[in-house]
Structure 1
Amino acid sequence: MCLASIFGLFIGLILGLTGAGGGILAVPALVLGLGWTMTQAAPVALMAVGASAAVGAIDGLRKGLVRYRAALLMAVLGGAGTPLGLYVAHRLPQTLLMSLFSLVLVLVAIRMHRQSRGAVGAGAEHDWERKNCMLDPGTGRLRWTLRCSLTLATVGACCGLLTGLLGVGGGFLLVPAFRQLTDIRLHGIVATSLMVIALVSAMAIFGALRAGIVIPATGVAFIGASVLGMVAGRLWAPHVPARGLQEGFAGLCVAVAGYLLWKVWG
């Protein structure tokens, strides 16, 4: 239980420092650190990520940063995609699931590395003509066009599918999608993404519990520690250089992906 708490604290800390996306390491922490299978780890990882994201989302709501209408739309579609992901996950072999997870980790690492070099989002703040969702300069709210609604719905559904399939929160998908497809500022993007993660994770957890999934005591310790880590990470984040954090996170993702693949196929 002590080891589970240490891993949970570490995952929560990364989630708090990166804003969204760090929760993707929750499943590897449980699989590699505690020896669980992917299907055992996914519900506990979702609870940890969802609870931690809820802490960040509440803070974002308090500061008025969350685009709650967009978050609710994406969460509803995400909730619809999650059961399909769960259905597929329980019918795929563990080797394939872990290989898919490793691929996602590598993609996240590449994105983080490019972002640290300024390749991701460079000039995005001024390239508004290509954005699918635009803010109204007068009200500061999103313009709810058909194009915007379909864009957010599609992203939400993809997030839900990955949540059910791999037990990840989806922040690694939401943040870059928001940056590419909307002109919402970064603080609003992170806060809105955390709310989507919290809501989609909650729906996935509810489905898993209804299916008879039982959370062991070590899982409860992991979840509680991750929430504490999230709080600490958000307090510490303003004092950590963004580029070093992104490079370090990218390197960690590659290392974990390599170890997962070695364990599966080695």
Structure 2
Amino acid sequence: MSALLLALTAGALIGLALGALGGGGSVLAVPALIYLLGFTPVAATTAALVIVALTSATALTAHARDGHVRWGTGLLFAAAGTGPAMLGSAVAAHLPAAALSAAFAVVAAAAAVRMLRPARADDAARGLRPGHAAAAGAGLGTVTGVLGVGGGFLAVPALVGVLGLRMREAVGTSLLVITVNSLAALGLRGGTVDRLDWTVVAPFAGAAVLGAWDGRRLGAKVEGSTLRQVFAVVLLAVAACMFVDAVV
């Protein structure tokens, strides 16, 4: 299968998952770029940031039109993660490939476990102290900068549990946070962005954007918990393979 066809297929599937689940689909971009398209871990995380930024910004416009974005809250949350995202991006360029892959595998596994865990009705009411909002934003920014993932699987629970947003608002607002963090992380990767293979990255990103629109319609037709469970099992398998590959 040609690199172009692989890029289009992987992008469409990742966008479909992102649109259907409201977050988490982009976590598969890095392993797809590494194992299907032959990118190095550093190049894959940079390319994933481009893909995540474009896909999230596009999806953000739809959620904003529906009135599901809390702009003030999202920008404050993102502000706490901008610095860590930039720092994480600089650190990632100096990490060994094996360490980067292992760290990504751990985060992917954590995302899968989070998706498999049943949602608790008291999550939003339980809340956390206000100071934890800054810590959550900084943690999300660090993960975005180092690993090139959007972090919707972290942002949505944080916005619900820490800041008390309703789920639809949390999904829309998380896209704002992810877009800002991704752009901040890309700001320190100018040199590596120029060296990306755009004949692969551009169609990958385009297919992901289009897939996200179809994913929104799929999410309205299929039970959300079923989609999350299937995706989580796939993500766990990918994480296990990446971890084994990194340590062996």
TM-score by length of 2: 0.92
**Partner in structure 1 of residue 15 of structure 2:** 12
- Give the partner amino acid of 1:131: G
Q: Which residue of 2 aligns with 1:238?
A: 220
- Counterpart of 1:204 (choices 185, 206, 213) is 185
Give the secondary-structure state (helix, strand or coil) at the position aligned to 1:92: coil
Alpha carbons 2:60, 2:172 under 8 Å: kept: yes
Kindly indicate whether the alpha-carbon contact (under 8 Å) linking 2:90 and 2:188 is maintained by their aligned counterparts in 1: no
Deviations 1:111-139 (CA, angstroms, capped at 9, x unpaired): 11113xxxx323335xx3x424xxxxxxx
Instruction: Determine the C-alpha separation between the residues in 2 that align with 1:11 and 1:20.
Output: 10
Give the C-alpha shift of residue 87 in structure 1.
2.2
State how far apart, in whole Å, the 1-side matches of 2:184 and 2:89 are: 12
Tell me the residue number matched to 2:151: 170
Structure label with greater radius of gyration:
1
2:25 equivalent among 12, 22, 25: 22
Q: SS state of the match for residue 247, structure 1?
A: helix
Partner residue of 2:37? 34
Q: Could you tell me which amino acid in structure 2 is paired with residue 123 of structure 1?
A: D
SS in 2 for 1:71: helix
Matched, 1:255 2:228: no
Q: What stretches of structure 1 move > 3 A for 4+ residues in a row?
A: 210-213
Match of 1:123 in 2: 122
1:86-114 deviations in Å (ceiling 9; x for gaps)? 22212221111111111111111111111
The alignment status of 1:108 with 2:89, answered yes or no, reads no
Q: What letter corresponds to residue 93 of structure 1 in structure 2?
A: P
Percent identical pairs in the alignment equals 37
Instruction: Say which SS state the counterpart of residue 83 (structure 1) adopts.
Output: helix
Counterpart among 93, 96, 105 of residue 99 in structure 2: 96
Aligned residue pairs total 244
Aligned to 2:176: 195
- Compared CA separation, residues 19 and 212, structure 1 to 2 (3 A): closer
Q: Which residue pairs with 1:45 in the alignment? A: 48
- Which TM-score applies when normalising by structure 1? 0.86
- Measured in 1, the distance between the counterparts of 2:224 and 2:44 equals 30
Identify the residue that residue 143 of structure 1 maps to in structure 2: none
The answer for the alignment partner of 1:139 in structure 2 is: none
Task: Give the 3-state SS of the residue equivalent to 1:108 in structure 2.
Answer: helix
Give the gaps of 5 or more residues in structure 1.
133-146
Instruction: Tell me how far apart the structure 1 counterparts of residues 90 and 184 of structure 2 sit (CA, whole Å).
Output: 14
